[in-house]
């Protein structure tokens, strides 16, 4: 699956656009700095101070990286759902983020209605399966062979429907994830390293472990089972897969259901860190820069991309955010991804695009 084959690195500077871009960025940066270099030491604040902080307080640095890592794992999980569906059906599933919320909400909602926690998990899985079947029947099957953008828009429709449906059934107010009932660890481990205190939430560790297990399980499933092989065949070519007797409809249900399971696990983990509400939907959009970083079709890409974005935005927010008034987390991820994209339009692990005519 990994296609990081040794490829001669393209000489980027030979590309006029990259050159122009670099010069432009340089000019803009110089202009901004020059204008503000009036003794207030802006240059220092941007280029030197953050690194000094990193060196002088390594425990804070480790803490920030850890925070970023955990966020990154969650981004990667959402991105994973995207990649699964994109590989198998070519659909850019915008609804993945909302599926996470919906799954978590169903779980919590069922528990509130008095269903025991683990039964609620099983029931939620059932709901996700029904959702997968419904989407396949109602949305994918009638829209087969339509252009990508139409399917993309249809997943917008699914998103809106699920928002409305979830809110009318479970109410719009934020809910508490049933972390205790699911025996998820609580509290924090305080590590005494680098002359400071680094606090690791147990739930975060659990999230990382569970995510790794799930990714490994998926990899095994794809590599060694009959259905996994069929899935990879479909990802390569729908028509060829059909011609050897693979049922596209069945594959789609399986893939959407798998994405549903991934969504549920993501929802539990994320819900345990904050709370379960539709605000998650905007956060879930962060999976998109992860995707363009990692490439739409690469699972390793989704993971590495998620970690880069997670760590990048936490570091950016912590060390550079205060310079511009904070809150840059909301857009930094997109700019990191954009920067990568300008250098490698196919993403980190995506296949090189050779245009043919």
Partner 1 sequence: MNAEPMNRTGEPVAAAKGEVLLSVEHISLRFGGVKAITDVSFDIRKGEVRAIIGPNGAGKTSMLNCINGFYHPQEGQITYKGVRRARVKPHQAASDGIARTFQNVALFKGMSTLDNIMTGRTLKMNRNFFWQALRHGPAMTEEIAHRKVVEDIIDFLQIQHIRKLPVGKLPYGLQKRVELGRALAMEPELLLLDEPMAGMNLEEKEDMCRFILDVNNEFGTTIALIEHDMGVVMDLSDRVVVLEYGRKIADGTPAEVKADQAVIDAYLGVAH
Partner 2 sequence: MFYREAGQFKSTYTADMAVFPILQDRIGIAVILLLAFVGVPLIGNDFFTTTVMIPFLVFSLAAIGLNILTGYTGLVSLGTAAFMGVGAYSCYKMTTWWPDMNIIVLILVSGLFSAAIGVFFGLPSLRIKGFYLAVATLAAQFFLQWAFVRVPWLFNYNASGAIEVPLRTVFGVPITGATASPETRYFVCLCLVVVLTWLASNIVHGRIGRSWMAVRDMDIAAELMGIKLLNAKLLAFAVSSFYCGVAGAMMIFLWYGGGEAADVFNIRLSFNVLFMVIIGGLGSLIGSFFGAMFIAGLPTILKFGLPAIGIPLAGATAEHITFMLVGALIIFFLIVEPHGLARLWQIAKQKLRTWPFPY
Which residues of this protein are in contact with partner 1, per CB under 8 A? 7-8, 354-355, 357
Judged by CB under 8 A, the stretch of 47-55, 230-238, 269-277, 330-338 that binds partner 2 is 330-338
Query: What residue has token string 């259901």?
Result: 257
326 belongs to the binding site for partner 2 (CB under 8 A): yes
- Distance of alpha carbon 30 from alpha carbon 35, whole angstroms: 8
139 belongs to the binding site for partner 2 (CB under 8 A): yes
Q: x/- contact string, 168-187, with partner 2 (CB under 8 A)? A: x---x---------------
167 belongs to the binding site for partner 2 (CB under 8 A): yes
Structure tokens at 199: 């606090």
- Distance of alpha carbon 196 from alpha carbon 81, whole angstroms: 37
Contacting partner 2 (CB under 8 A), which of 47, 118, 165, 183?
Answer: 165
Of 47, 147, 298, which is closest to residue 290 (Cα–Cα)? 298
Q: x/- contact string, 83-122, with partner 2 (CB under 8 A)? A: ---------x------------------------------
Half-sphere exposure of 23 (CA within 13 A, CB side): 7
Neighbouring residues of 324: CB distance < 8 A, sequence distance ≥ 6? none
- Distance of alpha carbon 265 from alpha carbon 261, whole angstroms: 6
Answer with the entry of partner 2, partner 1, none that 7 interacts with (C-beta below 5 to 8 A by kind).
Answer: partner 1
133 belongs to the binding site for partner 2 (CB under 8 A): no
For residue 23, what are the CA distances in angstroms to 181, 204, 268?
57, 42, 46
CB 329 within 8 A of CB 67: no
DSSP state of 326: S
342 belongs to the binding site for partner 2 (CB under 8 A): yes
- Distance of alpha carbon 104 from alpha carbon 271, whole angstroms: 7
Contacting partner 2 (CB under 8 A), which of 39, 147, 187, 245?
Answer: 147
Answer with the entry of partner 2, partner 1, none that 8 interacts with (C-beta below 5 to 8 A by kind).
Answer: partner 1
Query: What residue has token string 């935005």?
Result: 313
DSSP state of 189: E
**Beta carbon nearer to partner 2, 41 or 164:** 164
345 belongs to the binding site for partner 2 (CB under 8 A): yes
312 belongs to the binding site for partner 2 (CB under 8 A): no
For residue 94, what are the CA distances in angstroms to 78, 81, 152, 352?
11, 10, 7, 24
User: Under rule CB under 8 A, how many of the chain's residues touch partner 2?
Assistant: 52
Contacting partner 2 (CB under 8 A), which of 13, 113, 244, 355?
Answer: 355
Residues within the interface to partner 2 (CB under 8 A): 17, 21, 92, 138-139, 142-143, 146-150, 152-154, 156-165, 167-168, 172, 282, 285, 288-289, 291-292, 296, 324-328, 330-331, 334-335, 337-338, 341-342, 345, 347, 355, 357
């Amino acid at each position: 699956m990994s296609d990081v084959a040794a490829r001669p690195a393209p000489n980027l500077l030979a590309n006029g656009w990259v050159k122009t871009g670099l010069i432009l960025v340089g000019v803009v940066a110089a202009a901004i700095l020059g204008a503000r270099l009036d003794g207030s030491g802006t240059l220092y604040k941007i280029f030197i101070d953050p690194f000094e902080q990193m060196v002088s307080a390594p425990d804070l640095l480790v803490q920030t990286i850890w925070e970023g890592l955990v966020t990154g794992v969650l981004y990667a999980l959402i991105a994973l759902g995207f990649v699964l569906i994109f590989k198998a059906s070519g659909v850019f599933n915008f609804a993945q983020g909302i599926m996470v919320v919906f799954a978590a909400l169903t779980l919590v909602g069922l528990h509130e209605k008095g269903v025991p926690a683990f039964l609620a998990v099983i029931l939620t899985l059932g709901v996700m399966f029904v959702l997968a079947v419904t989407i396949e029947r109602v949305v994918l099957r009638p829209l087969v062979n339509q252009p990508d953008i139409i399917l993309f828009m249809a997943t917008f429709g699914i998103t809106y429907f699920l928002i409305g449906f979830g809110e009318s059934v479970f109410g719009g107010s934020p809910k508490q994830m049933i972390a205790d009932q699911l025996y998820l660890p609580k509290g924090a481990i305080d590590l005494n390293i680098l002359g400071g205190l680094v606090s690791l939430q147990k739930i975060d560790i659990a999230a990382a472990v569970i995510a790794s297990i799930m990714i490994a399980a998926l990899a095994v499933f794809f590599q060694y089972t009959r259905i996994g092989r069929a899935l990879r065949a479909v990802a390569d070519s729908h028509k060829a897969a059909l011609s050897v007797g693979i049922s596209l409809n069945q594959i789609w249900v399986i893939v959407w259901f798998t994405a549903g399971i991934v969504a549920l696990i993501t929802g539990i983990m994320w819900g345990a860190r904050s709370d379960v509400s539709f605000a998650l939907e905007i956060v879930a959009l962060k999976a998109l820069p992860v995707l363009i970083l990692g490439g739409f079709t690469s699972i390793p890409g989704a993971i590495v991309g998620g970690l880069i974005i997670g760590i990048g935005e936490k570091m950016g927010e912590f060390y550079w955010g205060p310079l511009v008034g904070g809150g840059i987390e909301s857009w930094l991820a997109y700019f990191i991804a954009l920067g990568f994209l300008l250098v490698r339009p196919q993403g980190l692990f995506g296949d090189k695009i050779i245009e043919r005519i």
